[in-house]
Amino acid sequence: MSSTILVAGTASHVGKSTVAAGLCRLLADRGASVAPFKAQNMSNNARAVPAPHANEPWGEIGVSQYVQARAAGVQPTTDHNPVLLKPSGDGASQLVVDGRAVGTYEAGSYYDEHWETARTAAERAHERLAAEHDVVVAEGAGSIAEINLHDRDLANVETARFADASVVLVADIERGGVFASLVGTLELVPDDVRERVVGAVVTKFRGDATILEPGLREFEDRTGVPVLGVVPHDDPGLPEEDSVALPAVGERRVVGRDGHDDPVRIGVVRLPRASNVTDVEPLAGEPGVRVVYVPPSAALGEFDAVVLPGTKNTVDDLRACREAGLGDALAAFDGPVVGLCGGYQLLGERIENASVEGRGESVGTGADDGVPGFGLLPVVTRFDHEKAVRQATYELDGVGPLGGATGTVSGYEIHMGETRAVGPLETPFAADGEASAAVGAVAGTVCGTYLHGLFGNSVARRGLLAAAADGDRVAATAADRESHASSYDRAAALLGEAVDVDALLAAAGQRVNF
C-alpha cells in the first residue's frame, strides 16, 4: 500500500526542498520505491524531462522535483510536477500543465478559468505515482496556512486531501518566532488538514540544542504534535528553486569557495526577470572561482569573464539592460562573454516578433524591424508560439570563450524563438554532424547557446575557465562530476542524523519494512 508524505511549510524558503530531497534519498537507500511530487510549483528554474502523458515527448518541471527524482533514483518525468507556473512579470505567469505551456495568465484568470483543469492534472499525476511506488514524498509551496487560498491551495491543502497525505510541518528557526509560526500554522489550517499533521521539523538551527529543548517539549504539550527532529544549519548544495536566493535587482552577491588568494572572477548579470540561474552554480563550485552576481548597471572591468543567464521575458529585460548601460559595458569588456538561452538572444543583432509576456504586446513583426539587441553576435532571433522543450546532447568543438574544449556535452533546451545567423560566425555545437546558430554561435570572445546545463559538463566549464585566466589561477578537479549528485547524499545525511525517520514512517502508516 502506497503512502504519501506531504512536506509542508510555515512559510517560503524554510527548507522544504532540502527535507523532501533528503527524505527521498534516505528512503531510496533503504530499498523503498519512492517518488517526489509537487502538485503546483512556481519557479523559473525548470528542467526538460520526459512527458509520458502529453502529446510531446518532452516537458518542463521545476528544478526541485528534478533533483528530488534523481535523489530517489527514478527517471524525472512531468508527473513529478504536473503544474508549473513560470512568472513573466507584471503579475502574470506562464501556465505549464503536464509539461506543456498552455498560455500566460494573470492570477485571477488562472484561478477563475484554469485552476480546476490544473487540479485534475495534479490528482491524476499523483494517482499514477502512487500506483507505481511505495512512498510519494510531496512538497508543499510557501505556507500551508494562507487562509485566503485554502479553497484553491493546490500544492498544500488540495494535495493533502486528494493524496490522503500525512503532513510534516517544516519551520525555519533562523527567521525567529519558530514556535509562534508552528502554533499559528496549526491554528489556521483547515480542521481536516490539521488532523493529518503527524509531526514537525525545525530547520536551520545553530547553537546549543539543550537550550531549545524546553520549547520543543512545551510545543508538543500544547499541540499534541511531536517534533520529529531539529536540523542544523547547513547547505547541502542543492540548486535553488527560485529567485528568493538571488540578490535583489540592483544588488551584488559573491558566491564560491574560500581559500584562494587570486580567484577567477565570473560576473553574472542579475537580469530583472532571470530564469534558470542554476546554470552558473557549477562554476561557483569550482576551486579557485568566485561567481559575482551584479546588476545590469555594474562596471565589468573587475571580471575575468561575464555570463548572461536566461530570462523569462527577453524583450523587457533587454530594454531594462540597455537603459542601465549594459550594452556599452559588454562592448567595452575584453574578456570572454557567454549568453545562455535568453542571454544568447540578448547578445544578437535584434529580436523579431517578440511577445511581451503577460501583456500580449507584439513588437518587431516584420523582417526588417524588431528590438535591437546588443549586437555582439551576428544573429537574429524570431519568436513564434511554439516552445522548444527537449533534452539535448551535442559535440562541442570549442572556440572563443570555450576555446580548446572538445567533447560531448549534454543538457536541455527550454525556449521560444529560433535564432539564425546573419553574418560570419562559428558554430561550436553539432548534433549528427550538423551545427547551426539555432543551437549556439561564437564570434571572437563572445559565445551564445540555448543549451542549459552547459557548465554542468566539466569540459565546457574548464574551457571557459581556461579562456578566462591562466591555468595557475584555477585549481583543477580530478574528474567529471554528475551535477548535484553529492548534494543528494549531503541532504540525506543532514536529515538522517537529525530526524527520526522511523517515527515519521510509522506516523504516516507506512507498513512496508525498509
- How does 66-79 read in b/e, with b if 16+ C-beta sit within 10 Å? bbbbbbbbbebbbb
Prediction pTM value:
0.84
**Overall average pLDDT of the 29-52 stretch:** 94
Alpha carbons 505 and 65: distance in angstroms, whole number: 21
**Overall average pLDDT of the 127-149 stretch:** 96
If phi over 0 gives left and psi between -120 and 50 gives alpha, with beta otherwise, what is residue 127? alpha
- How does 172-184 read in b/e, with b if 16+ C-beta sit within 10 Å? bbeeeebbebbbe
Residue 452 annotated to the active site: yes
56-82: per-residue pLDDT in tens?
889 999 999 999 999 999 999 999 999
More confident position, 476 or 210: 210
CATH 3.40.50.880 residue ranges of the chain are 244-473
> Three-state SS across 158-207?
HHHHHCCCEEEEEEEHHHCCHHHHHHHHHHHCCHHHHCCEEEEEEEEECC
Q: Using the 8-state DSSP alphabet, how is residue 249 labeled? A: T
**Residue 356: predicted pLDDT:** 42
**Overall average pLDDT of the 251-277 stretch:** 78
300-317: per-residue pLDDT in tens?
999 999 999 999 889 999
Q: Spot the catalytic one: 133, 341, 447, 484.
A: 341
376-405: per-residue pLDDT in tens?
999 999 998 788 899 999 999 988 899 878
CATH superfamily, domain at 3-238+487-507: P-loop containing nucleotide triphosphate hydrolases (3.40.50.300)
Cell 534523481, residue located: 70
C-alpha distance from residue 229 to each of 14, 207, 261, 315, 502 (Å): 14, 15, 39, 47, 12
Region of poorest pLDDT, from 113-127, 181-195, 427-441, 466-480: 466-480
Count the Cβ atoms, other than its own, within 10 Å of residue 1.
Answer: 8
The set of cell numbers assigned to 15 is 527548507
The set of cell numbers assigned to 361 is 504586446
CATH 3.40.50.300 residue ranges of the chain are 3-238+487-507
Count the Cβ atoms, other than its own, within 10 Å of residue 168.
Answer: 29
**Residue 242: predicted pLDDT:** 58
Q: Spot the catalytic one: 80, 133, 452, 484.
A: 452
81-110: per-residue pLDDT in tens?
999 999 887 789 999 999 999 999 999 999
Q: How confident is the model at residue 178 (pLDDT cuts 50, 70, 90)?
A: very high
Q: How confident is the model at residue 323 (pLDDT cuts 50, 70, 90)?
A: very high
For residue 363, pLDDT beyond 50: no
For residue 477, pLDDT beyond 60: no
Pick from 331, 326, 351, 364: nearest CA to 443: 331
Q: What sign does the dihedral 298-303-308-309 (CA atoms) show?
A: negative
Q: How confident is the model at residue 364 (pLDDT cuts 50, 70, 90)?
A: very low
**Residue 384: predicted pLDDT:** 82
**Overall average pLDDT of the 431-460 stretch:** 93
CATH classification of 244-473, choosing from 3.40.920.10, 3.40.50.880, 3.30.460.90, 3.10.560.10? 3.40.50.880
The set of cell numbers assigned to 77 is 518525468
